Amino acid sequence: MTASLTAFTVYTKPDCSNCEKTKDYFDSKGITYTAVDITEVPAALEYITAELGYSQAPVVVNNSDDQDHWSGLRRDKLVHAAMTHKAA
């Protein structure tokens, strides 16, 4: 579900302030991502809940390491992503 040319996939939902903060952080650091609205893509909701086990948005998946993913606003993970990924 995470096949993409971008560095990350951010699974979001409408009116989610932590989703917006996560995307804003990636934007400010020049990190590429694909945003997927889980309210519009049922398969994405199934993926993050059934396969990854998350129930909180945003869910962020590193597209180059399928073991690197997290849920919620994780500043530690965002900073790590900025330190390890080159800007587009």
Residues 50-82: tens digit of each pLDDT? 999 999 999 999 998 889 999 999 999 999 999
| Region label for 9, one of left (φ > 0), alpha (ψ between -120 and 50) or beta (otherwise) | beta
| 3 found inside a domain | no
Give the pLDDT of residue 6.
87
Domains: count for the chain:
1
- Residue 46's φ and ψ, nearest 5 degrees, are -60, -45
In terms of residues, how long is the chain?
88
9 near 68, Cβ under 8 Å? Answer: no
| 1 found inside a domain | no
**Containing structural domain, residue 14:** 8-84
Q: What is the pTM of this model?
A: 0.90
| 77 found inside a domain | yes
| 2 found inside a domain | no
* Mean pLDDT, residues 35-54: 97
Cα–Cα distance, 23 to 42 (Å, whole number): 21
The tens digit of pLDDT for each residue in 6-37 reads: 899 999 999 999 999 999 999 999 999 999 99
| 40 found inside a domain | yes
CATH for 16: 3.40.30.10
| 67 found inside a domain | yes
Q: Which amino acid is at 85?
A: H
